[in-house]
Amino acid sequence: MAENYKYLNNKTKAINYISDAIQIEKDYQRTKFKEQIADLLLQYTEILYYFADFEEAEEKCEESLEISEFNNLTTSLINGLILKTKILFAKNPHTEKDLELIKNYINESNDLAQSIQNPEYIIEILILKIRLLKKQGKDEKIIDKLQEAEKIAINNNSPCSLGAVYEQFGLYYHPIDLDLSLKYFKKGLEEFIKCDSIQDQAEMHYNIACVSSLLSIPEEIIDHLSIAVKINSKYKDLAREDEDFKTIRNQDLFRSITD
């Protein structure tokens, strides 16, 4: 219920449901439920992160990390470290000290992921490394990391991970080669369809619409933006403010989708 209301963009109901779930688990006060409590706290964190409530998200994430570390819950700890890193990325601007802290969280999560040889986690952490390289202005190292992540995803037959990698390729090429960016976003969409990841599909449809707008491909703009908005109404708000759509913002067909 909490996840459903999150994607319906109803923050209050999403938080109420996840809070109730956490309280039910805590009422048992049994050791075997510690992992469930840690994971529910992470779910709470993800909801707050989704609604850009980064301060409270960080507090809930820390609470989950404490439980995970104390009880040696490796997968919960990896998830918490990854989410903590994403929260830190979202808190702009970044000083050198901030970037060093992010690097430490990435390295810690990477060590744990390597210890259990989980390819999905390893790929997700590689994507975090790519985001850090962007922040550090080390773009020349990004392609190597993307190719490494792509190889791992293909070798492990992991379409959702491969979709995430292709999304990063699309974002990398967006400022320098729009045709290549569009190609990778479409490849990402194909992978997310394979693994039935609906919200990731919506994001890919939105990205395709953005690039299609810059390339002046009107039929693709409308087709893909319509699907993105249908899946998740947040893309209406994003599209209205997105500079990629500035040349068509006042057109009736675009406004019929975003109003």
Q: Domain limits of the chain?
A: 1-117
The per-residue pLDDT for 93 is: 79
For residue 32, is pLDDT > 70? no
Cα–Cα distances (Å) from 221 to 198, 210, 211, in that order, read 19, 7, 8
Tokens of 28: 């048992």
Task: Provide the pLDDT for residue 51.
Answer: 94
Using alpha carbons, select from 129, 46, 113 the residue that is nearest to residue 84: 46
pLDDT of residue 29: 62
- Measure the CA–CA gap between 88 and 83, rounded to whole angstroms: 9
Token readout for 183 is: 């190609």
Integer distance in angstroms from the first to the last C-alpha of the chain? 27
- The CA-based angle 98-79-67, given to 5 degrees, is 95
Residue 31 has pLDDT above 60, yes or no: no
pLDDT at 27: 79
251 dihedral zone (left: phi>0; alpha: psi -120 to 50; beta): beta
- Integer Cα distance of 98 and 19 in angstroms: 30
- With H, G, I as helix, E, B as strand and everything else as coil, classify residue 128: helix
Please tell me the distance from the alpha carbon of residue 72 to that of residue 160, in angstroms, as a whole number.
27
The yes/no answer on whether domain 1-117 falls in CATH 1.25.40.10 is: yes
C-alpha distances (whole Å) from 245 to each of 181, 183, 216, 234 are 16, 19, 10, 16
The rounded distance, in Å, linking the Cα atoms of 29 and 103 is: 35
Whether the per-residue pLDDT at 97 is higher than 60: the answer is yes
The predicted pLDDT at position 30 comes to: 59
pTM of the model: 0.91
